[in-house]
Structures are given as structure tokens and as C-alpha cells.
């Protein structure tokens, strides 16, 4: 039975949540301080200039021409257009819009089941659980599509019906924006199995199998096809011994498991929460999907009623106008990223112009900045470099290995973090001199006088 929530319009929660997230991100340039952002922008720019989807590495000088899979090609195009149109201010505005849209949509969906303290507290827990993963990267741009798809599938399951085929458009978009779409496929399969266990009828199994099959087909409608799905599954691998990057998802996982484990009917949902939680501890993309999916899985088990949230026209128009104005101002105002562990801007300015495009030995974290600066790095944070190459690069602090490597790759200058052992080795290496020292980067160049 449906009803209206008294005393307030539940739909206002969606506007308030979206407005809060939009404002918070627009004044948070630190979410741009991620080395991966640079090469994502460069990849999108390359595709715009070459009218083609990237399939090989065009950026490094060590692995140029090697296969490189970039599933988030559509996100990279959006990032590049935002950068070309408004610089880093445009990128920040794009990220803010995506986060606000996802948050507002999620709050609206939850307001169909929850109200008052439960709804407000749930939104706060979602935002806190996702806080450390907010970054202007493809997985953030994919979040609105992820929320729409997951919310639609969960609502269909809670209403004992087959999910609408219109949700396949959201899956199609999600699959072309980021590899996290594979998590949506997993949740859909689990809910389909839950539906059959609850209602063991052939028609139920057929409906959910058909939808899961179409969702899988939609996820394959990318420039990479089956290869994209395989790549997406591989992207969920957690390196052995890798430390957890956050424990914030615990704030949402513990109450979720306490609710879901109490009933046999929701054990599959508890399994989904446990799997997503394990991934969220290590993968920022999974952390965002976890924060968005768990409350949707809890919506019906904790339902206070079935409401019809409404968003009044005037507040909606006022929010849309203010949001567009804020985004336009942010994109218009210049935004230069300051020096950081991934942005060696000051050190780069000290490199002689005649050396910039010659071979460089660089810190992997600086590779993205070099790529967007039209410099071919030795290495960067993209995952296509073989582990053996990364291990060898990490051993260059040993002078016995460093000198031959510099000769082998014809290195003319270096851009390394101050703590890298190779910095000290270069200080004592004949034919090299330190040109610049800063808190985040050190530059060495060949000493022509030697």
C-alpha cells in the first residue's frame, strides 16, 4: 500500500543530498590530485584528435605500440572535453555533476521506503562510506548509471516482477564508462537467484534469466566486446599482500549484515554485501559501488512504508538553475593544480626545453602528469606494464643496475621523488648532476661537461 509522507516532501531529500554533494565537490580541488586523472584526460584527447578508440599504448617510450585496454573510453572522452572546455575547473565541475546526480537519484529511490531519521542517517552513512573514494575518475562518472541500473533491478525484485528492459540502456552506458559494470551483473544474478528461491516457478526463472542474458549482451556492446568483459573481471583482482586503503565501508557493512543475516530470505543479499565489502577495502571504484548498492539492498528489509516521493517544480527548477550557475562559474574560473606527490609542476618547469622530449627516467606516480604534458614517460600508473618491468624499475636505486639502465634506454634526464633510492645513486653517478630539488620531486640531467 502506498502513502504520502506527512509534513514534508520526501523528494526534497534528493534535492538536498544532491545540492550538498555538488557544493562540497566544487570547492574540493584535492579530488583532482590523482595521477591516473592525467592519463585519462590524455587518452580522451588522443581519441578526439585521432577519431579512434585506443587499443595500444601511444604514450610511453618503453612500451609504445603494446596492447593497452581502456574500458572507460567514454569517460575519458567526457574528461577530455571537460578539460578542453574549462581546464581542471571543467573536470572538477564534471565530477561534481556526476556525484550529485548519483547521490540525488539514490536518495530519491530510498525515499520510497524510508523517511525521517532512517533516510537522513542512511544518506549520511553512504556519503561517509564513499568519502575517500571520491575522485574525478571514470568510476565516478559511471556512478549515476550504476545507481539507476541497480535501483531498478532491486526495485523489481522487491516487487516480485521482472526488471524493465529499459534498464539495459543504463547497463550499456555503465559498461562503456567503467569496468565496475561487472559488479552490477553480479548483483543482478544474485537477485535473480533470490527471486527463484523465494518463488520457485519456471516463469520466475525464465524472466530473470532472460533479463540477465540481455544485461550481459548490453555489457558486451562496447568497442572491446568479450575482451572488455574479461578485462573488467580481471580489474577486480586484489594484489597479494596489498594493504586496505580504507576501513570506512565498515560503517555501512556492519549494520547491513546485522539486518540481512537475521532472515533466510536475505542471505544472498548478505553475501553480496560481504563480497562488495571485501572489494571496497582495496578498490576505490568498488568502494563507490558498495556505498550505492548496500542501502538499496536494505531498502525493503528496513522499509517504513511504501511512499510516493514528489519533487515540487519550483524547488527543482531553483536547484537546477543554481547548480548550472555554480558549475559554469567553476568551469570558467582558472584552476591550476599545485605541487603534490603526483603533480611535479615546479620540478617540470626547471627541465631545460631541449631535454623535455628526450628519454626520461621518472617516478611511476609522475607518469600521468608527463603524459598530459606531451612527454613520453619511462613508466606510469597504467596497469599494462608487466610486473617484471615494474620490479626492475623499482630496483634502479642500486648504482650497479642504474647505470646500465640509463645507457640502455638512452636516458637524458630524471624526475624522481626525493625518497627514491635512485636519487642518491644519481648524486654519486659520474656524468650526472642534480638540477632541481623540491619537496615532491628531484630533477637530474646529464652533465655535458663530464
Q: pLDDT 10s digit of each residue in the chain, 450 long?
A: 444 444 446 678 889 999 999 999 999 998 999 999 999 999 999 999 999 999 999 999 999 999 988 889 999 999 999 999 999 999 999 999 999 999 999 999 999 999 889 999 999 999 999 999 999 999 999 999 999 999 999 999 999 999 999 999 999 999 999 999 999 999 999 999 999 999 999 999 999 999 999 999 999 999 999 999 999 999 998 877 778 899 999 999 999 999 999 999 899 999 999 999 999 999 999 999 999 999 999 999 999 888 888 877 788 888 889 889 999 999 888 898 889 999 999 999 999 999 999 999 999 999 999 999 999 999 999 988 988 888 888 778 777 889 899 999 999 999 999 999 999 999 988 899 999 999 999 999 998 744
Tell me what percent of the chain is helix, strand and coil, each rounded to the nearest 5. 60, 5, 35
Residue 120's contacts (CB-CB under 8 Å, 6 or more residues apart) are 13
Distance CA 365, CA 196 (A): 48
Residue 2 pLDDT: 46
Residue 223's contacts (CB-CB under 8 Å, 6 or more residues apart) are 53, 73
Residue 444 pLDDT: 96
Residue 9 pLDDT: 62
pTM reported for the whole predicted model: 0.93
Residue 6 pLDDT: 43
Q: 67 phi and psi, to 5 degrees?
A: -60, 135
SS3 3: strand
Q: How far apart are the first and last CA of the chain?
A: 85
Amino acid at each position: 500500500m502506498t502513502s504520502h509522507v506527512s509534513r514534508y516532501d520526501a523528494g526534497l531529500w534528493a534535492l538536498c543530498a544532491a545540492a550538498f554533494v555538488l557544493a562540497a565537490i566544487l570547492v574540493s580541488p584535492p579530488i583532482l590530485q590523482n595521477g591516473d586523472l592525467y592519463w585519462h584526460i590524455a587518452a580522451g584527447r588522443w581519441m578526439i584528435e585521432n577519431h579512434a578508440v585506443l587499443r595500444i599504448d601511444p604514450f610511453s617510450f618503453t612500451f609504445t605500440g603494446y596492447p593497452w585496454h581502456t574500458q572507460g573510453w567514454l569517460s575519458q572522452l567526457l574528461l577530455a572535453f571537460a578539460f578542453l572546455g574549462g581546464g581542471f575547473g571543467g573536470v572538477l565541475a564534471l565530477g561534481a555533476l556526476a556525484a550529485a546526480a548519483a547521490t540525488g537519484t539514490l536518495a530519491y529511490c530510498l525515499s520510497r521506503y524510508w523517511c525521517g531519521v532512517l533516510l537522513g542517517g542512511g544518506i549520511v552513512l553512504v556519503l561517509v562510506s564513499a568519502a575517500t573514494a571520491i575522485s574525478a575518475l571514470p568510476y565516478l562518472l559511471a556512478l549515476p548509471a550504476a545507481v539507476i541500473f541497480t535501483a531498478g533491478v532491486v526495485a523489481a525484485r522487491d516487487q516480485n516482477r521482472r526488471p524493465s528492459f529499459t534498464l539495459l540502456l543504463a547497463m550499456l552506458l555503465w559498461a562503456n564508462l567503467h569496468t565496475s559494470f561487472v559488479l552490477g551483473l553480479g548483483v543482478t544474478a544474485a537477485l535473480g537467484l533470490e527471486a527463484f528461491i523465494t518463488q520457485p516457478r519456471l516463469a520466475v526463472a525464465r524472466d530473470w534469466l532472460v533479463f540477465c542474458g540481455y544485461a550481459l549482451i548490453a555489457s558486451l556492446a562496447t568497442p572491446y566486446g568479450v575482451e572488455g568483459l574479461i578485462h573488467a573481471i580481471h580489474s577486480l583482482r586484489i594484489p597479494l599482500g596489498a594493504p586496505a586503503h580504507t576501513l570506512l565501508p565498515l560503517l555501512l557493512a556492519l549494520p547491513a549484515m546485522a539486518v540481512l543475516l537475521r532472515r533466510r530470505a536475505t542471505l544472498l543479499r548478505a553475501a553480496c554485501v560481504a563480497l562488495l565489502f571485501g572489494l571496497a577495502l582495496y578498490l576505490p571504484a568498488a568502494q563507490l559501488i558498495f556505498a550505492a548498492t548496500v542501502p538499496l539492498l536494505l531498502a525493503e528489509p528496513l522499509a517504513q512504508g511504501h511512499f510516493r516521493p514528489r519533487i515540487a517544480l519550483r524547488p527543482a527548477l531553483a536547484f537546477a538553475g543554481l547548480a548550472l550557475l555554480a558549475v559554469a562559474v567553476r568551469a570558467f574560473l582558472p584552476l591550476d593544480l599545485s605541487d603534490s606527490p603526483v603533480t611535479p609542476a615546479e620540478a617540470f618547469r626547471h627541465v631545460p626545453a631541449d631535454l623535455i622530449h628526450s628519454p626520461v627516467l621518472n617516478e611511476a606516480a609522475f607518469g600521468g602528469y608527463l603524459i598530459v604534458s606531451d612527454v613520453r614517460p619511462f613508466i606510469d600508473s597504467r596497469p599494462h606494464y608487466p610486473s617484471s618491468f615494474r620490479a626492475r624499475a623499482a630496483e634502479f636505486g642500486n648504482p650497479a643496475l642504474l647505470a646500465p639502465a640509463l645507457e640502455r634506454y638512452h636516458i637524458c634526464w630524471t624526475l624522481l621523488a626525493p625518497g627514491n633510492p635512485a636519487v642518491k645513486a644519481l648524486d654519486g653517478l659520474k656524468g650526472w648532476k642534480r638540477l632541481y630539488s623540491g619537496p615532491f620531486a628531484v630533477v637530474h640531467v646529464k652533465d655535458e661537461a663530464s
